[in-house]
Structure 1
Amino acid sequence: MFGTQARGEVSHEFQPPLMQYWRPNIYTRRANIIVKFQDLYGFTVEGNVDDVNVLNEVREKVRQQGRVWWALEANKGANWYLQPQISSLSEGIGVAALKLSALANSITLKKLIRKGIPPVLRPKVWFSVSGAAKKRSTVPESYYNDLIKAVEGKVTPATKQIDHDLPRTFPGHPWFDTQEGRAALRRVLVGYSFRDCHVGYCQGLNYVAALLLLVMKTEEDAFWMLAVLLENVLVNDCYTDNLSGCHVEQRVFKDLLAKKCPRIAAHLEAMEFDVSLVATEWFLCLFSKSLPSETTMRVWDVLFYDGAKVLFHVALAIFKMNEEELLMTSQIGDVINILQRSTHHLYDPDDLLTVAFDKIGSMTATTITKQRKKQEPAVMAELDQRLRRLNSLKMDDKPDSPRE
């Protein structure tokens, strides 16, 4: 399904299945109709008939949005999206014919991206707007191939952890359950672990890199998308040994939740519920393990254009969308179950992104940067204290020196 790799080549090309309407396999269980189907990126999804109806509606929106993008491709050229702003749609695009009058004049690239990048265009748009293409241009053409050849056969703590995690990365996926798929994922992860020894490898990156492989056309492009993500898009030190950057993001998110969703925050605080119980995975895996893959891709469309603040918008939206149900909870386990159930069935990305950007309100990158700087000292002090305790325990566990 994803193509084959020619002998001796490091770069691996593959294509996801063509977009089509769902043709589900339906069976009955206790009078409830359960539907199983394969999504655009090869994942098997289980839901009900209502979910399928939502997905078909989403597919129709994707098709219409795709016509807008392709019209712009034809009218403005292949790299039109690199322009700072699209001031208007020219007459040649035919908005009326597309029945998309809501997009009429003053369409910005940001608005188009929030409405979704067509799957076929996604690889090249991501590569450009994220800065990956620019980063790639700063090194020799053979950089990735040379890197992969140079690290072949080398064993480090990072490579050992990567090998341990490969079989656990999206088990059941028709490509990642193959030797070919795992080998491609391993090369990307191992290659990056040597590119940035400060990061090396952190659990969570396997899921991120796996989705990048499914979207991008080549293994090398997936590598550069991972590089720009860790080096430019996300906050520093999110994936280092002590996860200091991730800890900072969790504290910032807790503050934002109190500001944007005060009723939920107060209720969870009364329950002594730590939001990091769910949000840590969201931020480390960038929602790749929580949301359906096609919804995740829509989040990433905006992430690669608007930056890491998008993660806060989406995380807050998930809480906001479940506000009334969360306020009824009295057990920590119930909170986790509600959030997990809702995210797994969030098949309409427009619902999620509408709440994330229209109902949560604006959050500037400057404001979030200030919040991070405010939280960093407390996080570093806490991590330092934790390290001191660990070292103390290690000293206590050491056997006494032999007596003479």
Structure 2
Amino acid sequence: MEKKIIDDYEPGPLPSPRKMDRFGFLKQEINNPPDGLAKGREERRVRKWRKMIGVGGSDWKHYVRRKPHVVKRRIRKGIPDCLRGLVWQLISGSRDLLLMNPGVYEQLVIYETSASELDIIRDISRTFPSHVFFQQRHGPGQRSLYNVLKAYSVYDRDVGYVQGMGFLAGLLLLYMSEEDAFWLLVALLKGAVHAPMEGLYQVGLPLVQQYLCLFDLLMKEHMPKLGEHFTQEMINPSMYASQWFITVFSYSFPFHLALRIWDVFLYEGVKIVFKVGLALLKYRHDDLVKLPFEKLIHALRNFPEDAMDPDTLLPMAYSIKVSRRLEELKQEYNKKDGKPSLSTEIKGNQRQTRLNDPWSLKVARSLVVVVVVNHYCTKHLSATALKTSDLPVESRSSDLLLTPTAFGSHPEIFQVLR
């Protein structure tokens, strides 16, 4: 059964090394090789990092205690690619989890079964499909990705497997072994160092709701003019920012930028996702405030190439101060249980009088689905409806989402969407 399902994906022949970029993705355009100065600078950076972490990471904790500001500054500049996997394990706390749980990963992969196995198999080919490691059918990449996701779905049966996890696991597998990637995934979702991420994938997506709400408030505080324009055009973060949080920018952003964000994310926590998101809006602020609804949706999902330059975007993100205010808003959100008025949100987001074409109507209906999912995701809700909520609107099937059976014990909600 497993083999038959994977056979449905025909990736074609593997590309030659000359057609791949330095990360293993099919080249979109010709990149000039680094010049001698850049290569020399990178070698000096690697030597500094090797001295900082010691052999196999033996000096890491001591160095972090002595010079935390140096560590933070160097991580923000970017971890050398040849050391990235090791450093990610050190800063995430996953190395300690691995050492404390010998043999557990092997037990989960070999001897346990998961109710999510078919879902995982179906989604494997959708994870970094342009990367050579994951293109080959039954190849080492697809097998490793399956093993990690299956092991986690068994390790945490309450969360299981949810679409979106594959991009986290896939990214980790490009820099470390299966077992190391598994324990780093555990460290992230269970919160070994920072706040746990499992709420991004639990039924009802509670952490996604919270983060989108907080992001909306921060955006309106930092960019009131844009916030007012978004309110007038009925734009909210669930229409463009869900994947930023669910996959930590690994889904549709340039890989070199995603890596730099992940360097900081693993060391400083989720605040960098808020900062980068705000920086993207700030970068395009003057254009966004002039756009109507339909063009806003497109612009918020298609940022220009110059906005994706890490050396431009990240310094802008670092300059945005959100830590203290974010904690205040989290406390306020938790006091109110994070439950805005359903009727108010649906009424505000239908926009029937301003939608004159089928595409725009599809966007609005999909937004209402997101709002409904936020309020009505229970154990009785269709797993399919839940798992598609983090996908871009244009890639969802409206026929799949907009059916009475998709809302389980709440068929009356379907009438709101028609």
Q: Normalising by structure 1, what TM-score?
A: 0.73
Q: How does 1:2-401 map to 2 (within 5 A)?
A: 38-47=20-29, 62-73=42-53, 78-83=57-62, 85=64, 107-139=69-101, 141-151=102-112, 154=113, 156=115, 158-178=116-136, 179-180=138-139, 181-216=141-176, 218-232=177-191, 233=194, 234-332=196-294, 334-342=295-303, 346-358=307-319, 360-364=320-324, 366-367=327-328, 369-374=330-335, 376-378=337-339, 383-385=374-376, 390-393=408-411
- Measured against aligned partners, the alpha-carbon deviations of 1:95-127 in whole angstroms (never above 9, x if no partner) come to xxxxxxxxxxx9521111111111111111111
Unmatched tracts of structure 2, length 5 or more: 1-16, 343-371, 381-406
- TM-aligned CA deviation for residue 219 of structure 1: 0.7
- TM-aligned CA deviation for residue 311 of structure 1: 1.3
Unmatched tracts of structure 1, length 5 or more: 1-23, 26-36, 89-105, 397-404
Structure 1 residues 331 and 61, CA, compared in 2 at 3 Å: closer, same or farther? farther
- Mean Cα displacement is larger for which, 307-316 or 346-355? 346-355
- Give the secondary-structure state (helix, strand or coil) at the position aligned to 2:241: helix
- Measured against aligned partners, the alpha-carbon deviations of 1:249-290 in whole angstroms (never above 9, x if no partner) come to 111111111112222211111111122111001111110012
- Measured against aligned partners, the alpha-carbon deviations of 1:334-370 in whole angstroms (never above 9, x if no partner) come to 2233233326665531222111111x22423633542
- Give the secondary-structure state (helix, strand or coil) at the position aligned to 2:28: strand
Contact in 2 for aligned 1:250/1:280 (Cα 8 Å): yes
- Measured against aligned partners, the alpha-carbon deviations of 1:5-53 in whole angstroms (never above 9, x if no partner) come to xxxxxxxxxxxxxxxxxxx98xxxxxxxxxxx6333211242587xx69
Alignment root-mean-square deviation, CA: 3.4
- TM-aligned CA deviation for residue 57 of structure 1: 9.6
- TM-aligned CA deviation for residue 131 of structure 1: 1.0
The one-letter amino acid paired with 1:83 is H
Structure 1 residues 306 and 84, CA, compared in 2 at 3 Å: closer, same or farther? farther
- Give the secondary-structure state (helix, strand or coil) at the position aligned to 2:50: helix
Structure 1 residues 80 and 289, CA, compared in 2 at 3 Å: closer, same or farther? same
- Measured against aligned partners, the alpha-carbon deviations of 1:197-248 in whole angstroms (never above 9, x if no partner) come to 11101111111111110022x1100111111111114444110122111111
- TM-aligned CA deviation for residue 171 of structure 1: 1.7
- Give the secondary-structure state (helix, strand or coil) at the position aligned to 1:137: helix
**Distance of 1:352 and 1:309 partners within structure 2:** 15
- Give the secondary-structure state (helix, strand or coil) at the position aligned to 1:391: coil
**Distance of 2:114 and 2:240 partners within structure 1:** 33
- Measured against aligned partners, the alpha-carbon deviations of 1:179-207 in whole angstroms (never above 9, x if no partner) come to 22111100000100000011101111111
Structure 1 residues 343 and 277, CA, compared in 2 at 3 Å: closer, same or farther? farther
**Distance of 1:219 and 1:253 partners within structure 2:** 33
- Measured against aligned partners, the alpha-carbon deviations of 1:68-102 in whole angstroms (never above 9, x if no partner) come to 3234457x9943332364767xxxxxxxxxxxxxx
- TM-aligned CA deviation for residue 63 of structure 1: 4.9
Q: How many residues align?
A: 336
- Give the secondary-structure state (helix, strand or coil) at the position aligned to 1:40: coil
Larger Rg: 1
- Mean Cα displacement is larger for which, 289-298 or 40-49? 40-49
Structure 1 residues 221 and 311, CA, compared in 2 at 3 Å: closer, same or farther? same
Structure 1 residues 271 and 380, CA, compared in 2 at 3 Å: closer, same or farther? closer
- Give the secondary-structure state (helix, strand or coil) at the position aligned to 2:411: helix
**Distance of 2:43 and 2:303 partners within structure 1:** 25
- TM-aligned CA deviation for residue 318 of structure 1: 1.2
Structure 1 residues 394 and 298, CA, compared in 2 at 3 Å: closer, same or farther? same
Structure 1 residues 48 and 165, CA, compared in 2 at 3 Å: closer, same or farther? same
**Distance of 1:391 and 1:60 partners within structure 2:** 63
Structure richer in strand, relative to its length: 1
Q: Normalising by structure 2, what TM-score?
A: 0.71
Structure 1 residues 341 and 131, CA, compared in 2 at 3 Å: closer, same or farther? same
Structure 1 residues 380 and 231, CA, compared in 2 at 3 Å: closer, same or farther? farther
Structure richer in helix, relative to its length: 2
Structure 1 residues 167 and 57, CA, compared in 2 at 3 Å: closer, same or farther? farther
